[in-house]
Amino acid sequence: MNTRLIALAAMAGLVSGCTTTGPASNPIEMRWNGKSAGAFFARYAPPYSDSRTGSETVYNWRGGFNRIKTKDGRTLNVSCAAQLVTGEDYRIRSIRIVADRPGANGPSYCEELLTAR
């Protein structure tokens, strides 16, 4: 019985290691997870730094510098900062927003910027 449990646990670990992207936890990840980081950087600007951890690379990115008018008529200078994690295939596995401002139409400029088609 113990041998079967150990074998099952080992198999579960192997299978879980085969996934290329995690579940999308926000609209930005829904738009970009699984896509090429090259497409992201070509559209929004290259990262300012990166670091490799095992088979993953973490890119630090900042962009989308703009001046917008909010719903309440305020004018804001905005930008977005994020960390993108890619696998060896250079596909985005996750995006974590690290700095954001209110957007023109809602609470997140990053979401407005990075989910626009």
pLDDT band of residue 11 (cuts 50, 70, 90) is very low
Q: Which of 57, 60, 36 is nearest to 47 (CA)?
A: 60
Number of separate helices (H) and strands (E) present in the chain: 4, 4
Reported confidence tier of residue 22, pLDDT bands at 50, 70, 90: low
Q: Which residue has the tokens 């290691």?
A: 17
| CA nearest neighbour of 63 among 42, 86, 45, 40 | 45
**Between residues 63 and 4, which one has the greater pLDDT?**
63
pLDDT in the model for residue 17: 40
Under DSSP, is residue 63 helix (H, G, I), strand (E, B) or coil? strand
Tell whether the model's pLDDT for residue 92 goes beyond 70: yes
Q: Give the pTM.
A: 0.77
Query: Quick one: average pLDDT of 80-91?
Result: 98
